[in-house]
Amino acid sequence: MSVQNLESLVKRLETVTARLEAVSTTTKPALAPKPGSTSSGSAPSAASSAPPPSVLQYDDAVEGSLKNFFALSEKIGGDLGSIAPKVRQVFDHLRNYIWFAAGTSEPSVEVIKSKLQPLQQLIEEIGSFKDSKRNTDHFNHLSSVSEGLPAVFWVSVVCLY
C-alpha cells in the first residue's frame, strides 16, 4: 500500500470516528410534557418516547438533502469532508430543539438562548474553520456551508400574531 493510500485511509477513518463520536454524544431528549398535563413522577409512557409529528415532518423534510450532502462531502473529502461531522451535529441539535419545543409552551428568551447556544457554538466553530482555510481548494465549498448554516435559527423567530 502506498503512502497516499494510507493517508486517504486515515482520513476516512478519522471522518468515520468523528461521525460515531457525534452520534454517541448526541442524545435524543425525552418529550417534555404537554402544557396542562400533570407530572406524576412516573416513568414516561411508550407514547411519549415516540417523536412528535413536527419532528417526523422535520426528518422527512431534511433527510434526503442531508444524506446527499454527507455523501458528496465524503466523496469530495479534504476540508469539506472533515467539517461534515460538525454539520451533522448542527442538524442533530436542531432536531432536538424542535423536539423540545414540541413538548412545551412558549419558553422564555433565556431558555431559548440556552437551548440554541450549542448551535451557535458549532456554527462559530465552522466559521472559524472556514476562515482558517482561505487559501485552499475547498474554500468556496466551506464558505457555502458556513454562510448557509445560520439559517437554522429560523426556529428562534417569534410569531407576533
| CA gap 2, 123 in Å, rounded | 36
Amino acid, res. 7: E
pLDDT at site 124: 95
The string of pLDDT tens digits covering residues 139-154 is 999 999 999 999 998 8
Topology (CATH level 3) of domain 3-30+49-155: 1.25.40
pTM of whole model > 0.85? no
**Which residues make Cβ contacts (< 8 Å) with residue 140, sequence separation at least 6?**
none
Confidence at 26, pLDDT banded by 50, 70, 90: low
Coil vs helix vs strand at 9:
helix
Is 130 strand, coil or helix? helix
Tens-place pLDDT, residues 34-79: 433 334 444 444 445 788 999 999 999 999 999 999 999 999 999 9
> Residues 6 or more apart from 143 whose CB is under 8 A from it?
130
